[in-house]
Every structure is written in structure tokens, then in C-alpha cells.
Structure 1
């Protein structure tokens, strides 16, 4: 029987930590018997990495995939707890800890190519080896300097001439209107789509989607720089409409943003990824084998904390795996 019965981390449930804020928690160590010369430690770790395969060009005299990758270390802090008289008796022992997150961090993120993750890990070591450890992953929301004061309403319009019934033609006009296009994670995105149907056909389906465009930076085994852009659908709504011929319809839509999102950014030197967002309204026209799309850029920002503040957004709710974020979990190991 191991001398360590269990080691647990106590942290607020469903908490979202803002870059620059404070993480407070406890390590609860339960022993089956007396442990001499223990080392009880807690660590805060934040890392990111990207990896993808590229085929060689046709000019090469061989054919194989090139693995492009990159990585970054964002934070690594540790704390060792003092143990009185260098021994712990059987039973439960509680150790308090806190860590200050750096003010500049990317948000928790995962995709098929890239990952940014943060975790707190507690461990107990005897004289020679680790007896037990526990890891808990964290939601961390990155911040940006972008300010959204004095924004004007936005308006985009797309018009397309479509053909149907062999020789018949008409136009479809799609407009998107928004009070502003800058939002923080967890906010509501409210927008109005106006569709002008100047054809003799009925429009039955309109799709609204928020897309994430991520640019990844990596290196080949020969240290050649490579980049790759991947787009994914973050949020989606479908409206079943009956927009009759030669008529105009307005549709008001609302997207509730996840509480954790990568902030909008351009690629900077030394970064492994950057993110852009785009709102798209799509009118499907199966009778003409085409579609009409109106697009508007969306900016995701997050407020910086004061250097001496220690804040945490509690109860922000979980974020599903479908929204492009990892399913956070706790892991316990005994050795």
C-alpha cells in the first residue's frame, strides 16, 4: 500500500482566468502513514505547439511528407511547500497557493494543428521518487490592447445576378448591418441580414456562420519557415425562410460567443499562430446551383488587467469541444 492515499487540487469550478490575474487554490494531500522528508510542490505551466504535414513540390526527386512544427513556453512557475520537522503524519494536509499569470498570454485553444494549454500540477515526492501527482487544466483568456470607443454602425452589401429556368435571370442582394463589429468573449453578437429577392423563385434557406481563420507558423527539419492558414466554423445558425419572389425580408440573428476565445491579432515575430474572425450570411439557391454570400470582419478583444489586480471570471460556463476548445480534465497519477 502506498504511503500516499490521494493528492487533490482545489480550484474554483468552471473558472475562466484572465491573463494578468491571480490563480488561488489548495493542494490536499492525504497519507496512509507517516512520510519522512517529503517534497510537496505545485506548478503552473502554459505551453503551445503547432504541427502539420506538407507534401514536397513536384520538382523534388522524391515524394514524402515534411513535418512542420513550432512550440512556445508561456509560463512555468513552481512553489515548494515548507514541511515542519521534515515529516508529515498520516491523515490530510492542506497547502494554500497562488500564482500570478503574466499579462501577455494567448487564450486556451485547440485544433487539429495547434494547441495552447495551461495546467496546475501538484506532486508529492519521497526520498527517491514521485509518490503521486495531480494535474488540472485551466481556461485562460488572453488580452489585447484594442479599444472600441466611438465605433460607427457597419454595413456590407453583396449583389449577384443568377440564372434559372434556362434563360431567366434575376438578382439577389444580401446586406448585413451591425451596430459595431468588436466584441469580448462571452458577449452577444447581434446583426441584421436583409435579403432582396429579385427573382421569380422562392428562397427557403439562409445560413449564418462565424468563422475563425488561424494562421500557423512552423519550421521544417531544415529550419525553413512555413505558414499555413486553416478556417473553421465556430458558430452556426440556419433559418428556414419563405422569401417570396420580388420581395425583401429582414432576419435578426444573435450569436452567444464562448467565454474563452483567441483575440484577433496579426502574426507577430516569435508567435506560433494568429487569429481573425469573419461573419458570413449565405443565401442558398439550389435552383440555380449557386449561393450568395455577404461577409463582415469581426474583432475579438479582451481588456487588460491592471498590474496589481487579481481578478477571475467565475461561473462563466463550460465551452464545448465543437467550439474549437479542448475539453479540460483532471489527471491523477500514483507512482
Structure 2
């Protein structure tokens, strides 16, 4: 069987990151030591999302195809004819051009899912295994924070959790967390103020302020929301029947993908600042979230990365009676939010419908 010495996809612009709507131009390099017969050589341009996870013996998975386009660069459509073509020994170059659709989700990858964009070249061989090569593209959505409403306004969240001790109510632990504004880009500083009211007879062993990524994986039968900490500042303990103030705690926004996968139905990405009260081992910690939006173009008029500090007393809050994760970017309403279904056996995961967002962007 004749194998190519070189079979490679080369892009002409040298970009590392693309935006929706960009043109993709390049060529396919094929180097042969001997003549090769084939049905065709084609280049496929595609984007897709995939999620998969296991719960016990059950696997949940879903695939979403965004687009797929194929260009034949040598030969003819192999599905329409049985004729074969050949290429002589030597170096061959086949040009191609595609365009990314204007509305796309940003690239993403983790153990439970991905959003991928790729070029795949294929030599279709008669009665033999095709020869393939793949080149992945990094696509980022552009989110200009200046085009969104209320990005300079502070935002926060509050929650409470009742503790039990020896089958008797021990009292509630309440928490509030507020951040200086709603919109950030990687590298900027978030100023956080938080309070803890410990009305229980149990000690809060310590507290933490964290920048978290919230990823929701969606299938037809199940949803799985996972909270992952990306940056953390540890705080002190809080004695029973006591309170604690955490003032002007600073967190840097890490290098992360922009918020949201608005144009993807199976995988959604959001960010928040989380206050966590770390309790005794047999208790589930209280978590309170202040949602934020990570963009790619920063707010104009921000002085350094310290603007709009303070303002905790004027911060609108998102209420949740149990301290469970609220819907992202939702502004408080008079009725608050319905509690999601908490999985106590997996405290980092919550399963519920998380489709709506009060922040929109194009």
C-alpha cells in the first residue's frame, strides 16, 4: 500500500485564534514517493459539540453538529462514481477556502465535553482504509462589555443553610457576597465583600472566596452542572453565634474562555465569585454565588482594575433560601428563585434546567 511521505493541512494567515465569520484559507500538502490511485481527495470543515458522563451504570451523552462543509480538491465525488484517479510521485498542493458561520460558541475542552472546530483532509481509497489528517481551530466569540447593559453596576448573592445536630435544629448559617461590577476581562481585579452570620451551634471551620467556572452539560434525558474553582482566597473561621466580615478581598480573573455558549445547546459555560463556608465533615457547605460575565473587550473608562470598588450596601442580590446555585446572571425579583434539585451525594453537581440568562450578547 502506497503511503504519503507528507500529508498536512497548512493555513495561510498563521492565526492562533479565529472569530465567527472569519475566512479560513489554506492548502493541503501531499508528498508521494510513488504514484497513488484513489477516488478523491477532499477537505471537510466542521464544528461540533459533545458531552458525556457516567452516573453509576448509566451513560449520558449528546452530540450537536454546528456545521459541516466538504470541498473535493482532487478527483470527483466518490459516492457518485466508481472511477478512480491517480496522482504521480512528487509534491502536490491543493488550495481550499471556507468561512466560519457568523454565530458560533467559543471553543472549549474538558473531560466531560468539548466544542471543537476542525479541518479534516481525507484521501478516499478504493476498498482500503482512507488516509486522514486533521487540523483543529481555536474559535473565540467576541464579547464587547461596552455593548452590554449594567456591566459597571455591582451585583451579589445571598443564601442560608440550616444545620442539624443529633436530629435537632442547630440554627442557620447565612452568607452574602458582593462584587464591585458585573463585567470583566481576564487579568482584571475583582473586589469582593462578604459577610457570614453563624446562628448555629457549630463552628465554621474556615471560609473562602473563589472565582469559579460553572459548566452545564445537557442531554435529552439529563443535565449535569459542575462548579470548578479556578482561583481562591482563604478566609478565617466563624464561631457559633458569631458573625464575620470579609472586606475588599481581591481576586484576579484568570485566563479563561469568554462567558457563555449561547449558540450551543449541549454545553454552557458561566463564571461567578463564590463565598463558601466550610463546615464539619458531615455537613454540606453553604455556597453563595455572585454571577459575573467574562468578555474579550474591556469596559471603557475603567481606571486600572480597581474601579467601582465598594458599594456593597447598594448591591442587588440574588436570593436562594438554601444557598444553592441560582440561575446565571439573573437579577433579583420579588419572589426570588426556585431552588434547584441538589444532589447530596455529589455536592459539586446540581441537576436542573439552566437555560435563561438576564445578560444577552451577540
**Distance in 2 (alpha carbons) for counterparts of 1:88 and 1:182:** 55
Give how far 1:261 is off.
5.7
**Distance in 2 (alpha carbons) for counterparts of 1:203 and 1:115:** 37
**Distance in 2 (alpha carbons) for counterparts of 1:37 and 1:198:** 74
Task: Verify the 8 A CA contact 1:35 1:126 in the aligned structure 2.
Answer: no
Give how far 1:143 is off.
6.4
In the other structure, the counterpart of 2:333 is none
In the other structure, the counterpart of 1:306 is none
**Distance in 2 (alpha carbons) for counterparts of 1:125 and 1:14:** 29
Task: Verify the 8 A CA contact 1:43 1:122 in the aligned structure 2.
Answer: yes
> In 2 relative to 1, CA 289–275 (structure 1 residues): closer, same or farther, beyond 3 Å?
closer
2:31 is the counterpart of 1:33: no
Give how far 1:48 is off.
3.2
| Structure with more strand by fraction | 1
SS at match of 1:296: strand
**Distance in 2 (alpha carbons) for counterparts of 1:53 and 1:171:** 34
2:5 is the counterpart of 1:5: yes
**Distance in 2 (alpha carbons) for counterparts of 1:253 and 1:286:** 26
Structure 1, unaligned runs of 5 or more: 56-63, 219-225, 304-335
Higher mean alpha-carbon deviation, 101-110 vs 44-53, is at 44-53
**Distance in 2 (alpha carbons) for counterparts of 1:53 and 1:25:** 39
Q: 2:227 aligns with which of 220, 227, 233?
A: 233
**Distance in 2 (alpha carbons) for counterparts of 1:198 and 1:260:** 36
**Distance in 2 (alpha carbons) for counterparts of 1:54 and 1:173:** 32
In the other structure, the counterpart of 1:180 is 181
2:78 is the counterpart of 1:76: no
In the other structure, the counterpart of 1:212 is 214
Task: Verify the 8 A CA contact 1:172 1:195 in the aligned structure 2.
Answer: no
Give how far 1:49 is off.
4.2
Structure 2, unaligned runs of 5 or more: 76-84, 298-362
**Distance in 1 (alpha carbons) for counterparts of 2:258 and 2:143:** 13
Give how far 1:91 is off.
2.8
SS at match of 2:18: strand
**Distance in 1 (alpha carbons) for counterparts of 2:173 and 2:122:** 63
- 1:48-106 CA distance string (max 9 Å, x none): 34566799xxxxxxxx96x76554321111222258xx764433223332310111223
**Distance in 1 (alpha carbons) for counterparts of 2:62 and 2:204:** 50
**Distance in 1 (alpha carbons) for counterparts of 2:196 and 2:266:** 43
2:253 is the counterpart of 1:255: yes
2:153 is the counterpart of 1:141: no
SS at match of 2:6: strand
Give how far 1:112 is off.
6.2
> In 2 relative to 1, CA 256–82 (structure 1 residues): closer, same or farther, beyond 3 Å?
same
Q: Aligned pairs, how many?
A: 279
In the other structure, the counterpart of 1:194 is 194
When the two chains are superposed, the root-mean-square deviation of aligned CA atoms in Å is 4.7
Task: Verify the 8 A CA contact 2:232 2:251 in the aligned structure 1.
Answer: no
SS at match of 2:105: coil
SS at match of 1:16: coil
State the TM-score, normalized to the length of structure 1: 0.62
> In 2 relative to 1, CA 24–191 (structure 1 residues): closer, same or farther, beyond 3 Å?
farther
> In 2 relative to 1, CA 14–194 (structure 1 residues): closer, same or farther, beyond 3 Å?
farther
In the other structure, the counterpart of 2:78 is none
> In 2 relative to 1, CA 23–112 (structure 1 residues): closer, same or farther, beyond 3 Å?
same
